[in-house]
Amino acid sequence: MRMAHAGKFRHRPKAGDTEMMKAVTAEEMRAIDKSTIEGYGIPGQVLMERAGCCVAARVKELFGQRKVIVLAGGGNNGGDGLVAARQLFNDGWKVMILLIAKESKLSPDCLFQYRAVKKLGIAIEFRSRIEPKDLHGALLIDALFGTGLSKTVTGPVAEMIRLINRTDVPVISVDIPSGISADDGRILGEAVKADVTITFGLPKIGHYLYPGAEYAGRLFVEDIGFPRELTNSDRIKAEVVVRQDTALLVPERPVFSHKGDYGHVLILAGSRGKTGAAIMAARACMRAGAGMVTLGVPESIAASLQSVVVEEMLLPLPDDGSGVFSEDALAKVLSFIAGRVDVCAIGPGIRVTPGTRSLVSGLISVSTVPLVADADAINALQGNMSVLKTAKSPVILTPHIGEMSRLIEVKRTELLTDLVGAARRFSSESGTYLVLKGAPTLIASPEDNIFINTTGNPGMATAGAGDVLTGMIAGLLGQNMNPLDAALLGVYLHGLAGDIAAADRGMHSLIAGDIIASVPAAFLALGRA
Burial of 7 per CB tally in 10 Å (0-12, 13-18, 19+): exposed
Same domain flag for 228 and 264:
no
Residues 80 and 123 in one domain: yes
- Same domain, yes or no, for 128 and 269? no
In a domain, 240, yes or no: no
Are 279 and 215 part of one and the same domain? no
Confirm whether 8 is domain-assigned: no
Whether 112 and 205 map to the same domain: the answer is yes
Which regions of 128-249 does DSSP assign to beta strands (E)? 139-143, 171-174, 196-200, 218-222, 238-241
pLDDT confidence bin for 115, thresholds 50/70/90: very high
pLDDT at 288 over 60: yes
Same domain? 421 vs 284: yes
Enumerate residues 6+ apart whose C-beta is below 8 A from 229.
none
- Give 10's contacts (C-beta < 8 A, 6+ positions apart): 4, 480, 481, 482, 485
If asked whether residues 183 and 316 sit together in one domain, one would say no
In a domain, 16, yes or no: no
What range does the domain containing 207 cover?
A: 25-234
In a domain, 409, yes or no: yes
More confident residue, 73 or 10: 73
By the 10 Å C-beta count (0-12 exposed, 13-18 middle, 19+ buried), 28 is classed as buried
Supply the pLDDT for residue 124.
Answer: 96
Q: Is 373 part of a structural domain of the chain? A: yes
CA 184, distance to chain mean position in Å, is: 12
- Is the N-terminal amide bond of 211 cis, ω within 30° of 0? yes
Provide the CB-side half-sphere exposure for 408 (13 A, CA).
25
Q: For residue 529, what pLDDT is reported?
A: 56
For residue range 442-485, list pLDDT tens digits in order. Answer: 999 999 999 999 999 999 999 999 999 999 999 999 999 999 99
Q: What pLDDT score was predicted for residue 150?
A: 87
Interval 42-54: pLDDT, tens: 999 999 999 999 9
Q: Kindly report, residue by residue over 17-51, the tens digit of the pLDDT.
A: 335 689 999 999 999 999 999 999 999 999 999 99
Please answer whether residues 329 and 317 qualify as being in contact, where contact means their C-beta atoms are separated by less than 8 angstroms. Answer: yes
pLDDT at 238 over 50: yes
Q: What's the confidence (pLDDT) of residue 5?
A: 30
Q: Coil, strand, or helix at residue 285? A: helix
Same domain, 167 and 296: no
Q: Are residues 371 and 453 in the same domain?
A: yes
Q: Are residues 153 and 265 in the same domain?
A: no
pTM: 0.92
Helix, strand, or coil here: 362? helix
Residue 17, domain member (yes or no): no
pLDDT reading at 11 higher than 60: no
Is 96 within the bounds of a domain?
A: yes
CATH code of 132's domain: 3.40.50.10260
The rounded percent of the chain whose pLDDT value lies above 70 is: 96
Q: Tell me what percent of the residues of the chain surpass a pLDDT of 90.
A: 90
What per-residue confidence (pLDDT) applies to 225?
97
Q: Is the pLDDT of residue 109 over 60?
A: yes
Is the domain of 223 the same as that of 357?
no
Mean pLDDT taken over the chain: 94
